[in-house]
Structure 1
Amino acid sequence: MQRALALPALLLACAGAWAADSAPAPHITAVKAAHMLDVRSGAMVDQAVVLIADDRITAAGSKLAIPSGAQVIDLGDKTLLPGLIDMHTHLTGNPEDAGYASVAISVPRATLTGARNALRTLNAGFTTVRNVGAEGYADIGLRDAINAGDVPGPRISASGPPLSISGGHCDDTMHAPEYKIQAEGVADGVDEVIKRTRQIIKYGADVIKVCATGGVLSFGDDPRASQYTLEEMKAIVGEAHRLGRKVAAHAHGGEGIRLAVLAGVDSIEHGSYIDDEDIKLMKEHKTWLVPTLYLGDWLIENAEAIKLPKPLLEKAKVVLPAARRNVAHAIQQGVPVALGTDSAVYPHGLNGREFAVYVKLGMTPLQAIRSGTVNASQLLGWSDRVGSIEAGKFADMIAVSGDPLKDITELERVQWVMKGGAVVR
């Protein structure tokens, strides 16, 4: 009996050993550069070497020994940084879609537009984005296609359609009443917002986007006016958090910011009219601010070219300059900031111009860089994956020619991009 059992056991042991021996060895890559920014400490590491096994970093430091047989990528005098993160994108949209032009764009067309914009964003050095708002779950389909390797693009945390009150900023307010058109994420009342939140999560959302105030690029609302009630907001946040999703609140000011923070949202998007009471609340609740400021320069300068409707341009001329003043004050008061751009309001691929605006408003270059790396990864809940060049993280890196601590605009001229251990630019 013992002999009968011994043979199968021996065969199983041999099979296990054979499987272990036949497993493919990881592909080892060594990236060398004259400098590497440690975004946590702010130190510049000279003669940098980053070792990568398949898609993950195994070690990073100065003058590390390079294993025999490793593929070596020598970037010469370049400076390495972690891949950048944009916490507020709309990949499936373009600037010329603002206003009435959007009514002629189908979900399939928007999805294909998103594939093009995803590549532009990746080539600009943004290896991770949070997409906050897309009809028809187009951003979720784009995310899945990128993850499957069907199309190139950044890692995406996708929201699907944003939640809105009827007639609110994230509803469709451009049609005459007889068309009875309503945006996909519209929900009113506690029961309805709970149901809609569950539905959006059902169809694949990583994060819930909620429009807590009016906006700039919408008709008939005031960016300073709140839209959802506190009870509705609490229901949305409670359900999202219970199901493991964070909540991003579009909120320009007024009661909208305060209600969203009191409801427990994870981030305030835009914050154009943020005041001292909002700042105090956000610091107490550890709520992130995601400013979107460079668009203020581009949109007003190009409003005529993109045929921006006059009522929307008039709002933009009031809201966007106010945003600069108020966000500068919030930065000075120490509100935690994660970088966001609202790309689609201006052309995708110019995302890196957001950093220089933050520096102009009072951040140091290092603080600005952190807003688009470690801070953003913390808000995403992806600190174990992205945001720094450290062992165990995805090998998502960029290289620039100069020193971004001396000239933050280097991040507008990214020279080299790696995502998951593969060079994509």
Structure 2
Amino acid sequence: MMRQIFVAAVILMTFSFSVAAGEETIVLKANRLVDVQKGKLIKNATVVIVGNKIESVNPRRLPKESRVIDLGDVTLMPGLMDMHRHLTSVISKNRYLERFTLNPPDHTIRAVANAKKALMMGFTSVRNVGDRAGATVALRNAIIKGVVPGPRIFTAGRSIATTGGHADPTNGTREDLMGDPGPKEGVINGPYDARKAVRQRYKETSDLIKITATGGVMSVATSGQNPQFTDDELEAIITTAREYGLPVAAHA
């Protein structure tokens, strides 16, 4: 039953994706539909999709020019939203080794595959809070253009950290490989760097800003217990992001 529900949710998004470039009208018929506003299960449901938007549910009259698809014994439901994803990441024993073996195109291909998996699980909107090489910005744009299937993506691009902080991409490497990453790579020190990092994300067309205010259980930083930003740095990030209309999410 749950598989039928999830598949039906994906069907709504898939048809929306397939006709995004035009204004074709599609009518979906199903045995059931979850009305989340009223908390009821509607029988013999009809959903009208025009272009890439759901126009109406159970209208009195169906559009004359439409393609009717009878889905049969499935349950339709609104798409789910995942508010914390890292589409370029896969948890595995090779996770840290891959920092030295994978290139930006590899991360992008992985993100494409993970986006499709999310869609097939019923998630039609994803907030991506940090990635590798800004891959999810390109993925978001490709999905919007209809190049690849996937959910709507709201992405932060690269996370913002301080030197040695949770999202410093050089943590755990030997000294000659650490380098000195800066605001473009998402590593800041001081209010000036903080503002520059936010502006860089704005330039890259990120939808939001992600900061790693502390460490965590997956952190390669020296300690995950202490605050990793000064008050001045946080204020600079929040103020600049607000000026550019970007919300801020924090790992804490």
Q: Which amino acid is 2:34 matched to? A: L
What pairs up with 1:165-314 in 2 under 5 angstroms? Answer: 165-171=162-168, 172-182=170-180, 184-251=185-252
Q: In 2, distance between residues paired with 1:115 and 1:224?
A: 34
Counterpart in the other structure of 1:33: 30
Distance 2:113 2:209 in 1: 24
TM-score, normalised to structure 1, is: 0.50
Separation in 2 of the partners of 1:175 and 1:223? Answer: 17
TM-score scaled by length of structure 2: 0.83
Corresponding residue for residue 66 of structure 1: 62
Distance 1:232 1:37, change over 3 A: same
Q: Which has the higher helix share?
A: 1
Contact kept in structure 2, 1:49 and 1:64, CA below 8 Å: no
Distance in 1, Cα, partners of 2:222 & 2:215: 5
Unaligned runs of 5+ in 2: 1-21
Partner of 2:77 in structure 1? 81
Contact 1:100–1:174 (8 Å) recurs in 2:
no
Quote the residue 2:11 is aligned against.
Answer: none
Matching residue within 57, 69, 92 for 2:54: 57
Q: Which residue of 1 aligns with 2:14?
A: none
Once the 2 structures are TM-superposed, how far is the Cα of residue 207 of structure 1 from its aligned partner?
Answer: 0.8
Judging changes above 3 Å, is the alpha-carbon distance between structure 1 residues 242 and 207 closer, same or farther for their aligned structure 2 residues?
A: same
Please list the CA deviations of residues 183-221 of structure 1 after superposition, one character each: whole Å capped at 9, or x if unmatched: 510001111101111111111111101000012222244
Query: Which of 1 and 2 has greater Rg?
Result: 1
The equivalent residue for 1:405 is: none
- The alpha-carbon distance between structure 1 residues 208 and 86, as it changes in their structure 2 partners (threshold 3 A), is same
- 1:143 counterpart (135, 140, 143): 140
Q: Deviation digits for residues 305-351 of structure 1, max 9, x if unmatched?
A: xxxxxxxxxxxxxxxxxxxxxxxxxxxxxxxxxxxxxxxxxxxxxxx
- Alignment RMSD: 1.9
- Structure 2: which amino acid aligns with 1:152? P
Q: Distance in 2 between matches of 1:64 and 1:29?
A: 16
Return the match for 1:162 from 159, 162, 175.
Answer: 159
SS at match of 1:72: strand
Higher RCO structure (Cα 8 Å, ≥6 apart): 1
Distance 1:30 1:193, change over 3 A: same
- SS class of match (2:195): helix
Count of matched residue positions in the alignment of Structure 1 and Structure 2 = 226
Q: Which residue of 2 aligns with 1:93?
A: 89
